Structure 1
Amino acid sequence: MMNEADGVDRLFEILMPILRATAVSFEVVCVDDGSTDETVNRLQALQAQHPEIAIVELSRNFGKEAALTAGIFEAVGQAVIPMDADLQDPPELIPQMIDHWRRGAEVVLAVRSLRASDSWFKRKTAGAFYRVINLLGEITIPANAGDFRLMDRRVIEAIRAMPERSRFNKGIFSWVGFRTVAIQYERPERHAGTTKWKYRKLLRFAMDGIISFSSLPLRVWSLIGMIVALGALVYGGFIIFKVLVLGDRSVPGYASLMTVMLFTNGIVLIGLGVIGEYLSQVFTEVKRRPIYLIRSIYRNDQDNAAQD
C-alpha cells in the first residue's frame, strides 16, 4: 500500500468475509510503502476490528518490488497470496486459488483475460514487453500475469533464498518454477485513488526486468562489434583496391566520412550504455544494502505493540 487511505475500508469490507468463508486460519500482512496520508492510521483502526491484520510499516518508500518482497518475507503462512490494495486483484478468486492449492498446485497464477481497465497504450506496451523479455530471456514469463497468485511455502522459501537487491519479482516467481496452475479473470477498475505507476517508472521497471533475467543484450554487442569491424575491413579493402588497382587517388568526400564516424560512434555509445546498465546492477548488488528497512510491525497477537 502507498497512499491508499481512501480505499482500505472498502478493501477489508470485501476481503475479510471471503477469507473467513474459506475456513482456514489466515493473516493479512499490509505493507505500507512510505505513505504520506492516513494509510497507517486507517490500518490500525481496522486492526482493532480484525485481529488477523498485521501491519508492516517501511521506513520510507522503497518501491513496489521491495514492498512486495517485504510482504512475502514477513508472511508466515503455509501459502501466501500477494495482492494490491486497489481491488484490481479481485479477492473473489482467493477461494478458487486455495482449492487448487489443496489439490496439489504449488503456484496458482491469476492471468488477466481482459485488460479493459488499462489504456490502449499501456496494453500495447505491456504486450510488447512480454514478447521482448520472453524472446531475450532465459525463462518464460507468462503474459498478462501480475503479482496476484498463490504460492506454497516451498515456493516462498525458494524465493527467500534469492538474495539479489534489484528485484524483478515476476521473473523471480517464474524462475523458481514448481507445479503451476493458471486461472483466468477480468481485471476490474481501480476502486479508489490513482495509480502510482507513471510511464517513466514502467520503462525503468521493464529495463530492470530484461537486465535481471537476460544477458543477451550484453552479449549481442560482441556480434555487432564484429559486424561493424568486418564492414570496416571490407570498406578498407575496397579503398586499397581503388588506389592500387584502379589508380583512383581522389580524396573521399567529407559527407561520407562524417556519416561513417557518426554511425560507428553511435554504435559505441549504445554499447557502452548497455554495459553501463548491467554495471549499475552489479554496483547495487556488491553494496549489499538491505532490500527494505522496517520502521515498525504491528500485530494483534503481541497486544498491538509495535516492533521497532
Structure 2
Amino acid sequence: MRHIAARSNSHRSTKKISVVIPAFNEQENIPVLVQALRKVLDKLTYDYNVIFVDDGSKDGTISVLRTLNNLDGRIEYIKLSRNFGHQNALKAGLDHADGDCVICMDGDMQHPPELIPAFLSKWEEGFDIVYSRRISTENISWFKRATSNMFYALVNRLSEIHMEPGTADFRLIDRKVADALLQFNEIDPFLRGIIKWLGFSQHGINYSADIRYSGKSKYSLSRMIKFAFQGITSFSIRPLYFAVYLGFAFSAITGVCLPYVLYSYYTGNTNIGYASAGWASILMSIFFLGGLQLIIMGIIGIYVGKIFLQSKLRPNYIIQSTSIKQPQYDLVEF
C-alpha cells in the first residue's frame, strides 16, 4: 500500500473551506475580490480561509496581501520567489490548503464568488469535484472565443481526456481529491486535465463570466499556444502518431507529384510547364521533406524536453515567504 501525507481535520467540528487564488500583478483586484468573497462566505455556516499565491508580482500585490492578513488572519498568502506560472502557483495553493474542500478561482473578478454556494450545495450532495462551465461570451473578443474553442477541440482530439468547452480552473474539489493531487510532481502541470483524469464523481455548473475589474489578461497568444501544447503533451502521445501519419501523407503527395516532375523535365512539354534543372530537387526536398522533418522533430523535441526537465527533479515552485503556519499531517491509505 502506498501512503501519502494528508492534512488532519479531525479536530474541527465545523467544516472548513479553503479558497485558493493565484495572483500576478493584481494589487487593484485583490481588495475588491476579498470584499466580494466575504459577502458570500460570511453568510455560510462554514469556517474558511482564503489563500492568495503571489506568483512573482512586480507591483504592490504582496504589500496588499500582508495588510489584509494583518487585518484578518483568514486572508493568508504565499509569496513565491519568482514567477513560476499560473498552474504552479495554483499547485502551491492546493498543496497548502487545509480545508475539507478547496475552491480554486482567479483573482481578476471574472470568476463570480456568488457561485460558491452552488458549488457547496453539490458538494454536500456527494460530488467530489464541482467544476464551472462558462456559457456567456458577450464580454470576450471573437479572437479569444475562437482560440478558446480551438484549444478545447485540440485537447479533446489529441489527448486521452475530454474537456467540456468553457471549463477552466474555477472549481471545488473535496479533501480526498486535494490529497490525491499531493502525489503529483509533474513539471508544468496541467491541473484542469489532471483533475479530469483523476475521476471521482464530478458535476458541472454553468455561469456567466464577469468583466475583469482591473488590469489586462496575463494570457497572451504565445502563452495560450504554449498552454495548449502543455495540455496535449501531458496526457497523450497521439501527436507522435500524428507525425507518423503526416509523414505518410507527405510521402504520398511526393509520389503523386513525382511522375509529373519527371515527365515535364525530360519532355519539356510546354502544355504542362517546363521544369528547369534543379527545380525538382529543391521543391521536393525543401518544401516536403524539410518541412516535414521540422514538424516531426519539433513534436519529438517537446516530449524529450519534458523528460529532460522531469529528470532534474526540481520543485514546481519555491516559497519566499508565507503567512501559513506549518500544517499537521496524518497518514492516509489509498
Q: Same fold (TM over 0.5)?
A: yes
Give 1:253 deviation, angstroms: 4.8
1:191-231 CA distance string (max 9 Å, x none): 12222211111111111111112211112223333455566
Inter-partner Cα distance in structure 2 for 1:62 and 1:89: 22
Partner of 1:210 in structure 2?
Answer: 232
Equivalents in 1 of 2:30, 2:143: separation in Å?
29
The answer to whether the Cα contact below 8 Å between 1:4 and 1:85 also exists between their aligned partners in 2 is yes
Tell me the equivalent position of 2:29: 7
Q: Is the 8 A contact 1:106 1:180 kept in 2?
A: yes
Contact 1:134 1:141 in 2 (8 A): yes
Offset of residue 234 of structure 1: 7.9
Q: State the 1:233 CA deviation.
A: 7.0
The residue that corresponds to 1:184 in the other structure is 206
Alignment partner, residue 258 of structure 1: 282
Matching residue within 132, 156, 167 for 2:189: 167
- Verify the 8 A CA contact 1:58 1:296 in the aligned structure 2: yes
Q: Which residue of 1 aligns with 2:312?
A: 287
TM-score, normalised relative to structure 2? 0.82
Determine the structure 2 residue equivalent to 1:121. 143
Task: Give the letter for the 1:81 counterpart.
Answer: I
Q: Tell me the amino acid that sits aligned with residue 198 of structure 2.
A: V
1:63 aligns with 2:85: yes
Equivalent residue for 1:267, pick from 292, 296, 308: 292
AA paired with 2:298? G
Query: Is 1:84 matched with 2:118?
Result: no
Going from structure 1 to structure 2, the CA distance change for 1:55 and 1:260 (only over 3 Å counts) comes to same
Q: In 2 relative to 1, CA 149–228 (structure 1 residues): closer, same or farther, beyond 3 Å?
A: same
8 Å CA contact retained: 1:53, 1:300: no
Q: Superposed, which structure 2 residues align to 1:213-252 within 5 Å?
A: 213-229=235-251
| Cα distance in structure 2, aligned partners of 1:40 and 1:228 | 53
71-80 vs 265-274, greater mean Cα deviation: 265-274
Give the Cα–Cα distance (whole angstroms) in 1 for the partners of residues 241 and 248 of structure 2.
Answer: 12
Greater shift, 77-86 or 42-51, is seen at 42-51
Residue of 20, 30, 35 corresponding to 2:52: 30
Partner deviation per Cα, 1:251-294 (whole Å, 9 max, x = no partner): x8532332211211211121111111111111111111100000
Between Structure 1 and Structure 2, which shows a larger proportion of helix residues?
Answer: 1
> 2: CA distance between counterparts of 1:268 and 1:62?
32
SS of match in other structure, 1:27:
strand
The answer (yes or no) to whether the contact 1:65–1:167 under 8 Å persists in 2 is: yes
1:200 equivalent to 2:222? Answer yes
Q: Distance in 1 between matches of 2:202 and 2:28?
A: 35
Larger CA deviation: 154-163 vs 71-80: 154-163
Is 1:103 the counterpart of 2:128 in the alignment?
Answer: no
State whether structure 2 residue 319 is matched by structure 1 residue 297. Answer: no
Deviation at 1:232, TM superposition (A): 6.0
Answer whether contact 1:29 1:55 (CA < 8 A) is retained. yes
Contact conserved, 2:129 with 2:201, CA < 8 A, in 1?
yes
Offset, 1:299: 3.7
5+ residue gaps, structure 2 = 1-22, 269-274, 328-334
Cα distance change, pair 300–249 in 1 and its aligned pair in 2 (3 A): closer
Contact 1:166/1:285 (8 A) holds in 2: no
- Gaps spanning 5+ residues in structure 1: where? 243-247, 303-308
AA partner of residue 123 (structure 1): R
Structure 1 length-normalised TM: 0.88
Percent identity, aligned pairs only, is 35
CA distance in 1, matches of 2:72, 2:320: 22
Q: CA deviation at 1:177?
A: 1.5
Q: Secondary structure at the match of 1:81?
A: strand
